[in-house]
Structure 1
Amino acid sequence: MIHRLNVRFFGSLLLVLSGFPMLAQSQKAPNIIVILADDLGYGDLGCYGHPTISTPNLDRMAVEGMRFTEFYSGAAVCTPSRAALLTGRLPARTGVYGKGDVFRQNSASGLPLSEVTVAEMLKEKGYATGLVGKWHLGHLREFLPTRQGFDYWFGTPYSNDMGKVFTTSKAGVYGIPPGPRANAPALPLYKNETIIEEEPDQHFLTKRYTDEVIQFIKRSKDKPFLMYYASNFPHTPLYASPDFEGKSPRGLYGDVVAELDWSVGQILKTLKELKLDQNTLVFFTSDNGPWLVQKDHGGSAGLLFEGKNSTYEGGMRVPGIAWWPGKIKANVTSTALMSNMDLLPTIAAVAKASLPKDRILDGIDQSGVLFGQQEKAREMLPYYLNEQVFAIRKGSWKAHFLTHASYSPAAPDVHATPLLYNIDNDPSEKYDLAKDYPDIVADLTKEYEKQKTSFTLPPSEIEKVLPSPQKQN
C-alpha cells in the first residue's frame, strides 16, 4: 500500500516537473525578437512567391505563424524606416528626414535622444536589450544604440557599402567602379562603444551575427529580453560565406538571402532548444523595398511596382512574418494593413509596458490582429518620402499626390488630380481610377490635407553634417 502511494506521489511529481518549463515560460514576461533585413523586396522569399530563392526557414516560420500581405515599412529608405520602427513615430515627426536620405560618415546628428525607443520602453520593465547588426541612426558616440536603450550592441553604425568597398557588381553603379575606394573611411565593426575591427570580412558577417544573437539569447534566457537583429544584407555589396556562395540559382543575391534564411532558422532552433519558443514573439520584416538600381545585385518587389526610394507599393510594402507558437495561430495569412511603426505599441501591449504619454505615436496596437481577436486595426496609412506626404492609403484605395521614380534626379511629379488605385484589385498600380471615383478622390484628398498639417515639421537631423569627416577611437 505504501509502495503504491509512493509510486503515485512520484508519478504526480514527475508530471508537475515535466510541465515546469512551460509553466516557467508562461509566468515570465514574453521575450521579443525583431529581425530586420536590409533592402529585401516583397517578392524575395519563397513564401511570397519567389521561384528560385530557397527560404525554407522563413517559409516554415510563416506556416507556423502569421504572414502579412500588406505590411509596410515606415519609410522608403534605411535610416528613417529604422527610426519609425524603433519609435513608433513618423520619421518626419522626429526630424529623421532630409537631403541625402540617410545618416552618413560625416553626419553630425542621429536619432534625437529625446525620442523613446522600444529598447528604452522595455528596459523600464526589466528587459535585457540587445542589438546585433546595423544601427544607421547616428555614428557619433552620443547617438550610438548603447545611448538609446540597448545594453549590448555588436554591429556596424551604418550600411555595409559605407566603407572602402562600394559594390561587388561587375558593372558598378552610379559610375563608381567596383573595388576599393582609397579616400573612403573604413567600415567599423563595434562591440558596444568600441571599434573592434575595421573593414570586417563581410563573407562571414551573417555567421558572426547569428552567433552573437544566439549567445545573447543564452545569456539572457532567465529574464525577459529584447533582441533587435538588423542584418546588413541583402543590401549591397553582397557577400555570402563559402557554405552558401555559388549555391543559389538566383546568383549571389540568392546566396545572401539563403544565408539570412539559415540565420533565422538557427535562431528559431535555439529558442526551441532552450524551451523559450512558447514565450517569445519573433517578427521578421525588411526596412524598405528592393534597391532596383543594383540590377541583379538588388531584389524584387514581385508583382508590386517600383522599389526603394519610392512611395509606390514596391518601395514600402515588405514581407512581414509573426511567430509565437501557442499564441499566434499557425498558417494564417493576414490582409490587415500594418506598418513597422505599429511594432512599438504592439510590443508594449504584449509586454504590458507603458507607452510614452508625452508625445503622439503614429503606430497602432496590432496585438488583437496577431492573436486573432480582430481582422484589422489600421484603416489609413500615409506614405512619406523625406518630409513630404506623397500618397495616402485608406482601406482598399490609394491616392498618389506626388510621384517619384526611385533614385531619379528629377523633381517629383505633382498631380492636381491624384492618381487613384484600388490596391486590393490592382497591387501593381497600373489602372488609374480617379475619373471613375471622384468621391473617393475627395475623401483621400481631405486625409492628405489633414496629414500635411498634422504636426509642425522639426529641423532635419540628416542634413546636420560635420565640418569634415571625423574618425572615432
Structure 2
Amino acid sequence: MFRSTLIFLALALSQLAPAQKPNIILIFTDDQGYNDLSCFGSTTIKTPHIDTLAKEGTKLTSFYSPSPVCTPSRAGLLTGCYPKRVGLEKGVLFPYSKRGLHPEEVTIAEVLRSAGYATACIGKWHLGHHPPFLPTQQGFDYYYGIPYSNDMAHPDNRGKPKGNQDNIWLNQKTATQSWNTPLLENDRIIELPVDQRTITRRYTDKAIDFIANNKERPFFLYIPHSMPHIPLFVPEDCYDPNPLNAYKTVIEHIDSEVGRLVNALKAQQLTENTIIIFTSDNGPWLRFEHHGGSAKPLRDGKGTTFEGGQRVPCIIWGPNIIPANTTNDALASHIDLFPTLASLAGAEMKTRGPIDGLDLSATLTTSAPSPRDTFLYYSSQGKLEGIRHGSWKFLIKKNTPMLFNLHNDIAEKHNLAPHMPDKCQMLRTRMRKLDHTITNQKRPAANL
C-alpha cells in the first residue's frame, strides 16, 4: 500500500507543467532550540507568524539535525547525506579554513535548478567561503549573505572584540562595527564589516525581491539566517535594552520577518503553490544563558548528541499540498529534505554517489508511515556516538552505554542500559554496521 501511494504520487507530480511545480522556501535558523517557538512550547517567546504556519501546516516533533554543530548540519541538509559521507563531519569551518563542500557534490539546489527552478541562497552559508565552494558553485543562481558564522572575522578570525554578550547587546552600534564579519553578494564582499543589526531584515528584503522577480517560474529560496547565533543583533526599532530579553527579542524579530515573507507571497498570489519549511541547524547554545535558547523538555543542547543537541523544531506549510493543523511524530531529519523536495518538485534525482536521505513526501502529504525508522548520532567532531531505532536510543558516552526509550522518556533521564544488555548489543551492532557502510563509501571534501 505504501509503495503504491509513492508511485501514484511520483507519477502525478511528474506530469505537472513547470508553472505548477511548487515553489519551495526553506528557512534555516542558527542555534535555535526545540522550545524556542510558542507553537513548540515556549511560554516566554511569542511567534504568532510561525505559529500560523504550524496551524495551517504540519509540525514535525521528531525531526533531527544530522550534526549538533553548524557546518556538518548544513552539509547534510543540502546533500541529503550524513556529513561523514561528504567529508565534512569534523567541526566547523573558520575564515582561515581551506576546505569546503566538494564542487562535485550535488545539492538540492542543483537538482531543482535542473528541473527548471530559479534558485537563491540568502543568509549564512558556512560550507566554504573561497570561490570554488560558494553557493553560486553549488546550484544557486544568486547568493547574498555572511559566508560563515556571525562571530567570525575576515580574513583570519583575529582581532575579534572582547567582552561578554551582555556588553555587546548593550552597545549594539559599537559592537557591530567591531566584528570584522563580511557580507557577500555572489562571490564579492560588498560590506565589511556587515551591519548585523539589520541583517535579518535585509535577508528578507532580498528574499522578497527574489520572489517578485521569479513569480512566473518555480523557485527554490534557501534562507539560512545568521541569527540567533551569538552575537545577537536586531534593528533599532526592535531593540530591547534589557540583556535578559536579548534572545527573545531576536527570535521575535525573525518571526516578524517570516510574517513579511508570507505577506509577500500573498501579494504575488503565490500561497496556493508554495511550500515553506522552517527549522533550525542544531540545538541551542546553552552556555550563553539568556543569549542562547531552550531545548526543554529535551536534555542538553548544541554540541551534544543528547536530544537537545539535535532534535530541532520543524514546520512544513503548503496550502493544497500539506494537510493543515497536523502534528507528526514520524522520525525524520534534514537529510530527508533533499529527496522529499525533489519528489514534490517532480525533479530527477542525480547525485554524486549514495545518499542517506529518504523520501518523506507521502508521509507529509498523505500521512503514510515514515520510511525512516533509524537515525545515527555523530558528535560535533564526527565520532559515531549513537543510534535511534524506533523509540529506542542507544548512546556511548566516555565508554559508558546509555539506553533510553524516547516514547516514555523524551528527557533522557532514565538510563536503561544496565537492565537491558541484549537491546544495547543489538543497537550497538546495528549502528556500527550502518556506519561501516558510510565510512567505506565516504567521499572527500575539497581542499584548496
Give the alignment's TM-score, normalised by structure 2: 0.89
Matched, 1:137 2:127: yes
Identify which of 339, 355, 360 aligns with 1:345. Answer: 339
Give the direction of change, closer, same or farther, for the CA distance of 1:151–1:181 in structure 2 (3 Å limit). closer
Does the alignment pair 1:234 with 2:219? Answer: no
Deviations 1:333-383 (A, max 9, x none): 110111000000000100011112551110010111110241322100001
Query: Contact 1:66–1:329 at 8 Å: present in 2 too?
Result: yes
Q: Distance in 2 between matches of 1:256 and 1:245?
A: 9
Q: Of 201, 206, 211, which residue of structure 2 is paired with 1:212?
A: 206
Shift of the 167–256 alpha-carbon distance from structure 1 to 2, 3 Å rule, reads farther
Output the CA distance in 1 between the equivalents of 2:175 and 2:236: 22
Residue 277 to residue 358, structure 1, CA distance change in 2 (3 Å): same
Per the TM alignment, residue 170 of structure 1 is displaced from its structure 2 partner at its CA by 3.1
Unaligned runs of 5+ in 1: 1-23, 173-178, 404-412, 467-473
Q: Name the residue aligned to 2:148.
A: 158
Q: Report what 1:414 is aligned to.
A: 399
SS state at 1:67 partner: strand
Quote the Cα distance in structure 2 between the aligned partners of 1:250 and 1:185.
22
Do the aligned residues in 1 keep the contact of 2:104 with 2:352 (CA within 8 Å)? no
In the other structure, the counterpart of 1:9 is none
Is contact 1:61–1:321 with CA below 8 Å preserved after alignment? yes
Any conservation in 1 of the 2:56–2:325 contact (CA below 8 Å)? yes
2:57 maps to 1:65? yes
Which residue in 1 is equivalent to 2:215? 221
Q: 2:383 aligns with which of 388, 392, 409?
A: 388
In the other structure, the counterpart of 2:10 is none
Alignment partner of 1:28 out of 20, 26, 33 = 20
Distance in 2 of aligned mates of 1:65 and 1:424: 24
Query: Separation in 2 of the partners of 1:225 and 1:42?
Result: 28
Structure-2 change in CA distance of 1:201 and 1:171 (3 Å): closer
Determine whether 1:192 maps to 2:150.
no
In 1, Cα distance between equivalents of 2:258 and 2:300: 27
Match for residue 166 of structure 2? 170
Is the deviation greater in 35-44 or in 437-446?
437-446
State the TM-score, normalizing by the size of structure 1: 0.84
Distance 1:31 1:168 in 2: 42
Identity %: 44
Q: Is the 8 A contact 2:300 2:306 kept in 1?
A: yes
CA contact (8 A) 2:106 2:352 kept: no
Q: Does 1:89 align with 2:81?
A: yes
Distance 1:276 1:25, change over 3 A: farther
Residue 403 of structure 2 corresponds to residue 441 of structure 1: no
The verdict on how the C-alpha distance between 1:297 and 1:384 changes in structure 2, with shifts beyond 3 A counting, is same
Please say which of residues 441-450 and 187-196 is displaced more in the overlay: 441-450
Q: C-alpha offsets along residues 382-440 of structure 1, whole Å, 9 cap, x if unaligned?
A: 01113321010000000002x2xxxxxxxxx112xx21000111111000112333332
CA contact (8 A) 1:33 1:281 kept: yes
Aligned 1:307-456 pairs, distance under 5 A:
307-356=301-350, 358-385=352-379, 386-401=381-396, 403=397, 413-415=398-400, 418-456=401-439
Cα deviation for residue 185 of structure 1 reads 8.1
Structure 1 counterpart of 2:138, from 148, 151, 154? 148
User: How far apart are the structure 2 equivalents of 1:346 and 1:103?
Assistant: 28
Bigger Rg over Cα: 1
Aligned length: 421
Task: Report the CA distance shift for 1:126/1:206 in structure 2 as closer, same or farther (over 3 A).
Answer: same
CA RMSD of aligned residues (A): 2.4
1:52 and 1:249 in contact (8 A); partners too = no
Q: 1:293 aligns with which of 287, 296, 309?
A: 287
Partner of residue 78, structure 1 = 70
CA deviation after TM superposition for structure 1 residue 142, in Å: 1.1
Structure 2 residue 18 is matched with structure 1 residue 47: no
Quote the residue 2:12 is aligned against: none
- Residues 102/357 of structure 1: CA separation in 2 closer, same or farther (3 Å cut): closer
Instruction: For residue 168 of structure 1, report the CA deviation from its aligned partner.
Output: 5.8
Match of 1:56 in 2: 48
Distance 1:341 1:247 in 2: 39
Shift of 1:455: 2.9
The equivalent of 2:296 in structure 1 is: 302
Q: Structure 2 unaligned runs (5+)? A: 1-15, 154-159, 169-173
